Amino acid sequence: MAEAERIIGTPDTPDAAGNGRERPDEAAAAGASGADEPAAAGRSRGKRRIAVLFAVATFAYALDLISKMIVVAKLEHHPPIEIIGDWLKFEAIRNAGAAFGFGEAFTVIFTMIAAAVIVVIARLARKLYSLPWAIALGLLLGGALGNLTDRIFRAPGVFEGAVVDFIAPKHFAVFNLADSAIVCGGILIVLLSFKGLDPDGTVHKD
């Protein structure tokens, strides 16, 4: 009987159950699986933040582009439209300078700066894990793309095109929705920096 049990083996014996210990290869596999879970979660979160960035940028860019198309078709070469009396009007103008009409002699330089901003944001997106930063950079990207489109495709020529502005508050420069997106994104970035929140989601104290 003892000889038969030795040959056949029984499931309750320590040898048949592996002596109650996990094999080295099984332990290594379990450890690797546990280590991969936080990394996979981080990658997934990063992809969601990048999706938010490009969604915000697309919305800002589309809104700016559509508004300019309407302004050029319906408002250019027509009298201004009063929105709030003399305090706020819609008035179509062509701006060869930077945001709010500054620096009209440096159109090509502003075009290069806008292109550089887009490249920097695209590179920064790879390390983006913060939702507020994703929104801020999305606003910057959408605004930069909006004005860069004008620089490239509008008269008087490629990289020298005049930007379409139409929002005209009293005692202030005329601007457009792309300018607004850039300013809002910049303000948000300043606030996040003061709070010590980095694009990768870490918080530091000075």
Question: Does residue 156 have a cis bond before it (omega within 30 degrees)?
Answer: yes
Q: Specify whether the CB–CB gap between 91 and 111 falls below 8 A.
A: no
Q: Specify whether the CB–CB gap between 155 and 149 falls below 8 A.
A: no
Single out the catalytic residue among 179, 198, 200, 206.
179
Question: What backbone phi and psi angles, to 5 degrees, belong to 182?
Answer: -65, -45
Single out the catalytic residue among 165, 198, 200, 206.
165
165 in active site: yes
36 in active site: no
Side chain identity, residue 200:
D
Which tokens go with 34?
């546990």
**Residues counted in the chain:** 206
- Catalytic (active-site) positions: 165, 179
